[in-house]
Chain A
């Protein structure tokens, strides 16, 4: 559970996780195994269209939830089930405690329910004098340890077999080995006794099917079947987000849920309960069944045009499985009760601003969660939006106010950058790095060297060197982004050289400025919007065949976020759509549009590996183009492990969480070094800054370059 009051305390908590060797190894192994398992489970299936279908059906269910609830309740009641509606978590807990009292229940067995975690049900039931036992192995373990889950599907993933062995020794009163197979059997026997004694069983529900008034439960251990069979009373607690119109919708989600959660084609048990079932221990032979349907902020969420998509979540936990930050710090630090990307969002809505304010800043915006989400939820966007909302309510921190002010004024911004060039003189080395970190950085930032501002920005170079292309086959505009304009202009120059040699005529609109992503990352939505408008006015999209940018982050932001940012201004939205349509990244343009060939380049035979920028591979779904270019450009491409995992830069993220950034970079560079390549190529100046700075600090000889640079070097057409 999240307890930190401020970012400083939160960072301290994060450091504890970073120091936990066991946790780090477990989560590392899991992250790698999960990806392979998931890919295998979905093999041969059209995952994209399955996710789209789920998103559509869940959206429709959300819009219709009142009617669905009515239908569900009518059908359930007709089949002999009592249906209750709870507005808040406390209300749900009271209803359940009352049911226990009315039916004279003392002992309760529970199967896993995230909704019950959300309402902290066990505490209230225990306060009411009831004995509650979790029967899911992982849940039982954390219950005995008085902890919350650290993963939605594997709640005890943070614990070792030795910790569990010690715990079971305590529970049984006799010494237990740390052998997993045996520990599982100990739990089996201890818990079997609990089922026998219990008079009430509590479950969650994965599906509430309106057309039948029944529920569906997805489990592997089979405990939900025992919990819903043996005790004479059964209570199922579920959010209104579980309502679906029909069985077909549930079966469709079932195709994705286990595959996305654990890489299983299906779980061992899927249980469908409809109506008051036979119960041989009840007086009338029928089980007393209650459904408690929880709102707790969900209906408000459904009214919100942006956040209603949260209703699509099927609680598979995949967003944590692929999150590079979760992988470093685990669920107790990457969530409050719900964990991972969806956890950051749900925490805000279910548990309040105070619990969420630090958590939402811990998103590196790599989009891995969005890419894997079974409901196609735009998780990173929602996290940023919450960050912005909290700042709007609580006031904006000084650095983000300053940055917003500066970025809103291009001339001021560029003047500052030009001034910085003079200011850095005393600390600038000839190799392009700053010798000592400036005072504003603390020593946690020393994991990477920082580059100096270039002698001459790209925009000045362009004025003097703009090439004339006589018979152009394509007309394009260049968007440089700040880093390539002021820090790495040579990357742009290399692109210009190759484009000119391939008969591409170019424009460089001088009024362009920063793309605005950094302020958006800091939760400054207004500033982000203003910067977007500025750039939209600077470009005349109809005048070009393409607008090219060599920065993956700029490209993804311009393409996907600009139209959203100006959504409320129809005229500007039209322009933003046209603008977004023309945006293309360097590698796709050179490989897929210009279609350069191997014969156009000299072979250097140098071994090169690749780092896929998050905003290129996931943001723009570009995978093959850069790798093909490396081969075409005369180099030998060697694949790097976890090539599409974030390098830890994340723009302002690396400033805010240097410890996490350093760890992500560390992993990335170790993988890079293991390839034996002498050159590391990528498509994003931000990644280059991070990777080059990290390798410099490590004392490595590996060169980091933009794909554009090696292509220009090896091009035969000059």
Chain B
């Protein structure tokens, strides 16, 4: 097996260990279809795993009420890809946005982003997000769908160190390692996903063209 395949396999194995959903795709259009399909199947508001009927304080309720339709946020995509996504979203009855994330802090359904690198030994996505819109899309979404080209998978964090430094020195910079969904074990050490950030992380590995 080539070293590239080994890296890929390690990456998938480690990402799945932390409950990420990993899928192979052969084109960027396939990623768009994945997002539309996922949004379609998804319950309207997963935030309400406790049920919309669950009582909250008034302020928190108000914030929730602000959200009416399903929203896909994809800031920072190249324009043709964004247009394809926007068109398909419209057809399916979803809102598609690439800015104005602060108006959607109650939560959006899907944040769609592209990672710079994948890190195999921990199943991590390295997402460079100096843009606030992009950053928020990866955080306030209930599902985060993140694409990484297969050729961009590196063995470990040392393998991305040089790239990180280049970016960090072009300040300001805001860079993140994202591994699995947001999680906590603060109550009785019981693992619960999606405490502040996404409830699910979907990783799409794009085959090399």
When distances are taken between beta carbons in the complex, the residues of chain B under 8 Å from A160 are 188
B183 touches A221 (CB 8 A): yes
A188-B196, A189-B64, A279-B132 known; A248-B172 Cβ under 8 A: no
B56 touches A186 (CB 8 A): yes
- The chain A residue with its CB closest to the CB of B191 is A180
Stretch from A263-271, A631-639, A645-653 contacting the other chain: A263-271
B184 touches A137 (CB 8 A): yes
When distances are taken between beta carbons in the complex, the residues of chain A under 8 Å from B182 are 220-222, 268-269
Query: Does residue A403 face the partner (Cβ distance < 8 Å to B)?
Result: no
Q: Which of A251-269 contact B (CB under 8 A)?
A: 251, 254-255, 262, 264-269
For B139, B168, B189, the residue with the greatest tally of chain A CB atoms inside 10 Å of its CB is B168
A184-B192, A212-B165, A222-B196 known; A154-B186 Cβ under 8 A: yes
Report how many residues on chain B are interfacial, defined by Cβ distance under 8 Å.
63
When distances are taken between beta carbons in the complex, the residues of chain A under 8 Å from B175 are 271-272, 274
B183 touches A220 (CB 8 A): yes
B172 touches A274 (CB 8 A): yes
Report how many residues on chain A are interfacial, defined by Cβ distance under 8 Å.
79
Within the assembled complex, what's the spacing in Å between the Cα atoms of A222 and B190? 17
- The minimal Cβ–Cβ distance linking B21 to chain A, given in whole angstroms, is 15
Stretch from A114-122, A170-178, A452-460, A481-489 contacting the other chain: A170-178
When distances are taken between beta carbons in the complex, the residues of chain A under 8 Å from B48 are 185
Question: Helix, strand, loop or mixed for chain B's interface?
Answer: mixed
Query: Does residue A3 face the partner (Cβ distance < 8 Å to B)?
Result: no
Query: Does residue A1 face the partner (Cβ distance < 8 Å to B)?
Result: no
A159 touches B124 (CB 8 A): no
Query: Does residue A359 face the partner (Cβ distance < 8 Å to B)?
Result: no
Within the assembled complex, what's the spacing in Å between the Cα atoms of A150 and B55? 30
B172 touches A185 (CB 8 A): no
Query: Does residue A49 face the partner (Cβ distance < 8 Å to B)?
Result: no
When distances are taken between beta carbons in the complex, the residues of chain A under 8 Å from B54 are 176, 182, 185-186
A247 touches B164 (CB 8 A): yes
Contact of A220 among B55, B121, B130, B184 (CB under 8 A): B184
A137-B187, A214-B168 known; A251-B161 Cβ under 8 A: yes
A190 touches B57 (CB 8 A): yes
When distances are taken between beta carbons in the complex, the residues of chain B under 8 Å from A185 are 47-50, 54, 194
- The chain B residue with its CB closest to the CB of A29 is B189
When distances are taken between beta carbons in the complex, the residues of chain B under 8 Å from A278 are 130-132, 172, 174
A185-B47, A226-B139 known; A192-B60 Cβ under 8 A: yes
A173-B57, A221-B195, A247-B165 known; A193-B173 Cβ under 8 A: no
A180 touches B168 (CB 8 A): no
A79-B171, A137-B187, A265-B122 known; A272-B130 Cβ under 8 A: no
When distances are taken between beta carbons in the complex, the residues of chain A under 8 Å from B64 are 189
When distances are taken between beta carbons in the complex, the residues of chain B under 8 Å from A29 are 189
Query: Does residue B14 face the partner (Cβ distance < 8 Å to A)?
Result: yes
Q: Which of B73-125 contact A (CB under 8 A)?
A: 102, 105-107, 121-124
Within the assembled complex, what's the spacing in Å between the Cα atoms of A230 and B185? 24
Query: Does residue B151 face the partner (Cβ distance < 8 Å to A)?
Result: no
Query: Does residue A229 face the partner (Cβ distance < 8 Å to B)?
Result: yes
Query: Does residue A187 face the partner (Cβ distance < 8 Å to B)?
Result: yes
When distances are taken between beta carbons in the complex, the residues of chain B under 8 Å from A538 are none
A268-B179, A270-B177, A280-B102 known; A174-B56 Cβ under 8 A: yes
Contact of A251 among B18, B106, B158 (CB under 8 A): B158
B residues bordering A, Cβ < 8 Å? Answer: 14, 17-18, 47-50, 54-57, 59-60, 63-64, 102, 105-107, 121-124, 130-133, 135-136, 139, 157-158, 161, 164-165, 168-169, 171-190, 192, 194-198
10 further A-B contacts with Cβ under 8 Å, apart from A265-B14, A278-B174, A281-B102, are A180-B190, A184-B194, A196-B63, A221-B184, A221-B197, A251-B157, A265-B123, A268-B180, A272-B174, A280-B102
**A-B interface, 4 closest residue pairs, ranked by CB to CB distance from nearest:** A275-B171, A222-B197, A275-B172, A174-B55
